[in-house]
Amino acid sequence: MQTTACNSDKLKAEAKRLGFFGCGISAARRLDEEEENLRKWLDNGQNAGMIYMERHFEMRLDPRLLLPGTKSVISLIYPYFPHKIQSTGNLPIISKYAYGEDYNVVIKDRLNQLIDSMKSLYGNFTFRIFTDSAPILEKKWAQLSGLGWIGKNRNLIVKNAGSFFFIAEILCDLVFNYDLPAKNYCGTCTKCIDACPTQALSESNGLDAGKCISYLTIENKSDIPKQFKGKFSNRIFGCDICQDVCPHNKKPILHNNERFIPKLDWLNFTFNDWNQLSKTDFESIFRKSAVKRAKFDGFKRNLDFINPELIQ
């Protein structure tokens, strides 16, 4: 049995060396304070067609059910804001997180490297790694570990650094000295709520996924409801509007990872360029990208939906 806390400074130094912007650690427990909000969100149907969010309810609240014996939740954030972005003029827009290779693969590679470093530091231990790949309230754990707060746009916001970060976790049976929760600095600002073109955000109810452009262009497998016609602001995969307007993103942290750079120069593709794309072209361009989750038919559906919005 571990009798003394592991040195967390060495872990955080290794995480920084591997490109993580922040690393925070919390004691594993059941998030009793989140139960009511999560149940209300699901009961109100705000998860839309994401039925999987209704599964593993207890596991979402208690990470110890994901890995018996878990003592610590290590939260990490990795920047993804690109050095070059698409014009917000008349071009179809793809969310910045999907410019390069699929973040699940890239970040897990870094997590595995960090695990190797941890074994050198602490010896063998039991662990599991995740990045948007398990029923875990990752933003809440990141907030509890002091990395940032959950903003009104429901993204994790890091003080003086913004919200363009991927979040990852390591569950393990090691014990550390734990970090303090981060404070919320949104104040009275409602810029993200006011800017959302589909009114998916509200102060009282948070995010209604069924109205969110990210959900409608990625997770949604049905036709896009006609009520949103003309409200997508040229978005064809994901949406960054609520982040772009956030005052905390005035100086976003740029990534420094070649794998997040588009392999082909599609950033300036027009609607016509995308519309002429064949299935083979799509699969070639996005072979390693998160965009492939929409699949070719879903991508074309999104293009067709925004076509009348474009000024030719």
Active-site annotation holder among 43, 62, 102, 132: 132
**Beta strand extents in the chain (DSSP E only):** 22-27, 72-79, 93-94, 127-130, 149-150, 156-157, 165-172, 201-202, 206-207, 235-237
Domain boundaries, the chain: 8-85+96-172, 191-250+262-309
CA distance linking residue 184 with residue 143, whole number of Å: 9
Mean residue pLDDT across the chain: 94
Mean pLDDT to the nearest integer, 5-17: 97
224: amino acid identity, one letter: I
Residue 90, pLDDT > 90, answer no
Provide the H-helix boundaries in the chain.
8-17, 35-43, 57-61, 103-122, 138-144, 191-195, 213-214, 241-244, 271-275, 279-285, 295-306
pLDDT tens sequence across 126-167: 999 999 989 999 999 999 999 999 999 999 999 999 999 999
Residue 245, pLDDT > 90, answer yes
pLDDT tens sequence across 198-229: 999 999 889 999 999 999 999 999 999 999 99
Per the annotation, the verdict on 132 as an active-site residue is: yes
CA distance linking residue 41 with residue 17, whole number of Å: 38
- pLDDT value of residue 263: 82
pLDDT tens sequence across 187-200: 999 999 999 999 99
265: amino acid identity, one letter: D
Q: Are 118 and 74 in contact (CB under 8 A)?
A: no
310: amino acid identity, one letter: L
CB atoms within 10 A of CB 122: 16
The SS3 call for residue 29 is coil
Residue 180, pLDDT > 60, answer yes
